[in-house]
Amino acid sequence: MNPHNERMTVLLVEDNEIDARMVLRASETSSLANSIHVASDGARALAYLRQQPPFTDAPRPHLGFLDLNLPGIDGRDVLAEMKADESLRQIPVIIMSSSTLAEASYGNDAAALVTKPVGLEGFSRVIDALDKFWCELVTYCNPAVS
C-alpha cells in the first residue's frame, strides 16, 4: 500500500507528446490519476527532481517513469544523476522505452524495464499493472521517499 495512504506522485520523463498523452489517458482510471507530472526532456526532469526553477514547489515523486531517448540530457544520464544524488537515489525508476539499449540501463539501477507499448490499450495494460504493483503492493522503506 502507498505509505500513509497518500496519493502517489509520479514523474513521467517523456519527450514524445503522443506517448505522454497516452500515459496520462491510460492513468485516468488508476490510483495514478492526477498525480503524474511530465518533464519533456532530461534537463527539465533534473530541475524538477532538484526543485529548481521553475519547479521550486514541485512535490517529490514517489516513482519515476523514464524514457531513455531524450533530447539533450538523455534518460541514461538522468538515471545516473539520480542514483549519484543522495536525496534522489531512493526514488524507484521504471524505464519505459522502445530502445534496444534499454536493457543496459536496467542493470544500471533502474527498478524495472517496461517495453513501451503501442496504442492506448497497450498503455492502459502497462499502467494498470504498474499501478497495482507500485500503488497497492509496494511498501516504501525510505522515509525520504514516502
Report pLDDT for 82.
96
User: Is pLDDT larger for residue 96 or for residue 42?
Assistant: 42
Cell of 145: 521517499
Q: Do the beta carbons of residue 139 and residue 1 sit within 8 Å?
A: yes
Judge residue 91's burial from the number of C-beta atoms within 10 Å of its C-beta, 0-12 exposed, 13-18 middle, 19 or more buried.
buried
User: Is pLDDT larger for residue 83 or for residue 106?
Assistant: 83
Distance CA 113, CA 117 (A): 12
User: Is pLDDT larger for residue 52 or for residue 114?
Assistant: 52
Listed by start position, the domains of the chain span 3-136
Confidence of residue 142 (pLDDT cuts 50, 70, 90): very low
Confidence of residue 145 (pLDDT cuts 50, 70, 90): very low
pLDDT in tens, 92-119: 999 988 766 555 555 568 888 888 888 8
Of 49, 145, 14, 70, which is closest to residue 24 (Cα–Cα)?
A: 14
pLDDT in tens, 56-80: 999 999 999 999 889 999 998 999 9
Q: Superfamily assignment of 3-136 in CATH?
A: Response regulator (3.40.50.2300)
User: Is pLDDT larger for residue 6 or for residue 113?
Assistant: 113
